[in-house]
Structure 1
Amino acid sequence: MSNAWQYYLLKILSSFICLLPYKGVLWLGKILGKLYYRIAARQRRRALLQIQESLGISLETAEKHIDSLFMKLGQTFVEMLYMPALTLERLHQYITIENRHFLTEAVEQGRGVVLLTAHVGNWEWLGASLAMDGFPLAAVIKRQPNDQHTRILNEYREMAGIEIFARGTTELVSAARALKKGKILGFLADQDAGTTGLFIEFLGKMSSTPTGPTVFAKKFKAPVVPVFMVRKPEGGHRIIIHKPFYYEDTGNEEEDNYKITVKMTNIIENTIREYPDEWLWFQRRWNTAYSETDVEYKQNMSSERIGKQA
């Protein structure tokens, strides 16, 4: 049976939400987040376990962080449905950009930019904000388990001016061409990468880490710019842009790949430690089993294949 009705239901809900003032959006999101906290027992338990193990904090502190996380996730969900109502004027009202010059100068080099980010804060508004503010943004995304959710998200992303490419498909060839044209290519690099990832220590445990940002930074000599969005206590968001860095080619490809992937992972980890109630603690980040006998670097896509097809 087709589940297209879910798309239309979300569109109707989105139309209603777009009529609300932004304070109403945040209030509704907070209510939904509290409800989600109560009904999503499995995710809540996993989040509590993983945050305690990773940060070494008490159950009481963990519960405060996860309670706050679920409320913020509710707000993020409602904000996503509010995206058709976003205008540049509203973005400037709700969002501040810190160290904008780092990203501007990286784009001006003309070699494309690898934008490194994670599921911190409202990552959808992060992309929409940069694209609507004039940055030439493209993104490599992972399809949602529900196609209708992917459908509406991609519709709203493209509405904001983001060019979308799906991870693990031939669309990555087009993503490489976009980077070659000087665009910003965004990667959410905090998910389990399965058997194709590089095992890196992340928040105290070995985890299979995506290598896409490394591959593109190496092939195109593009600057890597870490960018994250976090919530302001009074409402709205901050976009935090970090200083660019580059792939260092010493001739030892395996070691060079490892070093820059570790650097990217550490930046994400430090951001999570600084804003512990902003990251998706219930995601299965450590799902792929680690074996010391299988630590060789495996790329999502070989640099050679990108070179041949880009």
Structure 2
Amino acid sequence: MFPNWQYHLLKLASRIVCLMPYPAVLLLGSLLGRLYYRIAGRQRRRALAQIQECLKLSPKEAERIIRRLFINVGRMFMEVMYIPALKRETIKRYVTIENRHYLTDALAQGKGVVFLTAHIGNWEWLGAALAMDGFPMTSVIKRQPNEQYTRILNEYRRLAGIEIFARGSTELVGAAKALKQGKILGFLADQDGGRDGVFAEFLGKMASTPKGAAVFAKRFGAPVVPTFIVRRPEGGHRIIVHAPLYYRDTGNEQADVANLTIRMNRVIEETIRQHPDEWLWFQKRWNTKVETLFPTTSTMAGEAV
């Protein structure tokens, strides 16, 4: 009877959240995250198992980190609801940008920028803060299982000034045009890449990695600028921009794409190791099993560095 009720409920919640002071938003998010930790048993168990295996932690240490992760997820949800309250002047109170010159210098090359990030920290505020700071942000997004949640996310992304393109659609033509126009094209590159991904080591385990960022960097000669956002102890966020990576053309396209993808993986891995409570450990990152699909691919990818 009311097909869009979830969207309208989220919009109402967002309006209420936008009336709150930012510290209250964080406090409410922390409480929501603690509740999420208790009720999301399947995700909690997957996160605990994966972080123990990858980082070789004790059960007690793993539980401490994953509990903080869930609290951060709750904070992120509330911060997303708070996006309409953000303005260019106000977001600077909450977000600082480190090594901005890497991004501005890469843009100055005139070939566009492949913007590499991951599900670390509040990645929605990452794009919003840069767009509000004047950077020409565009992003390739994966639709959420819940279309109404996708709708509100895209609405708030556009509100912040981000141009959106859907993965696996004709909109990718627009994404290519954005790079040609010298814009920044964002990729979240830490999810399972499926059968078409590059199989390489990620946090000590073989995983399929999406190769879209590497393919766009190759096709347009664009620098890849890894950039992540992490929380500050006093509240708010730090955006950390890393030195650009470049596609190395040796004449072997498959190996060259794998090489760049593996180098991108390593930057993401290092950030996760430095901020383990900021990454979504309950993702099905290792869902595609390389051994059962391509028995020799893992070795080839591992050597293409």
CA 1:295–1:152 in structure 2 vs 1: closer, same or farther (change >3 Å)? farther
SS at match of 1:291: helix
Q: Corresponding residue for 1:106?
A: 106
- Name the CA distance, whole Å, in 2 between partners of 1:280 and 1:183: 28
- Name the CA distance, whole Å, in 2 between partners of 1:293 and 1:34: 39
CA 1:20–1:91 in structure 2 vs 1: closer, same or farther (change >3 Å)? same
- Name the CA distance, whole Å, in 2 between partners of 1:293 and 1:137: 36
**Which letter maps to 1:163?**
E
- Name the CA distance, whole Å, in 2 between partners of 1:83 and 1:72: 16
Q: Corresponding residue for 2:302?
A: none
Q: Corresponding residue for 2:85?
A: 85
Q: Corresponding residue for 1:153?
A: 153
Asked if the contact 1:230/1:238 (under 8 Å) is kept, the reply is yes
Computed over aligned residues only, the root mean square deviation of the Cα atoms, in angstroms, reads 1.2
- How far did 1:27 drift? 0.4
Q: Corresponding residue for 1:7?
A: 7
- How far did 1:18 drift? 0.1
- Map 1:140-289; keep pairs closer than 5 Å: 140-289=140-289
Q: Deviations over 1:27-75 (max 9, x none)?
A: 0000000000000011000000000001011001100100000001000
SS at match of 2:276: coil
SS at match of 1:277: helix
**Which letter maps to 1:116?**
L
What 5-or-longer segments of structure 1 have no aligned partner? Answer: 298-310
- Name the CA distance, whole Å, in 2 between partners of 1:188 and 1:73: 17
Q: Deviations over 1:174-217 (max 9, x none)?
A: 10111111000000000011112111110111111000000000
CA 1:296–1:210 in structure 2 vs 1: closer, same or farther (change >3 Å)? farther
- Name the CA distance, whole Å, in 2 between partners of 1:78 and 1:96: 20
- Name the CA distance, whole Å, in 2 between partners of 1:230 and 1:73: 12
**Which letter maps to 1:258?**
A
Q: Corresponding residue for 2:20?
A: 20
Q: Deviations over 1:273-309 (max 9, x none)?
A: 0100000000100111212762688xxxxxxxxxxxx
Q: Corresponding residue for 2:43?
A: 43
- How far did 1:2 drift? 5.7
Q: Corresponding residue for 1:302?
A: none
- Name the CA distance, whole Å, in 2 between partners of 1:156 and 1:285: 27
- Name the CA distance, whole Å, in 2 between partners of 1:3 and 1:178: 34
- Name the CA distance, whole Å, in 2 between partners of 1:30 and 1:212: 34
- How far did 1:3 drift? 3.8
Q: Deviations over 1:94-131 (max 9, x none)?
A: 11100001101111111000000000000000000001
Asked if the contact 1:3/1:148 (under 8 Å) is kept, the reply is no
- Name the CA distance, whole Å, in 2 between partners of 1:295 and 1:130: 42
- Name the CA distance, whole Å, in 1 between partners of 2:293 and 2:125: 41
Report the TM-score when normalising by structure 2: 0.95
Count how many residue pairs are aligned between Structure 1 and Structure 2: 297
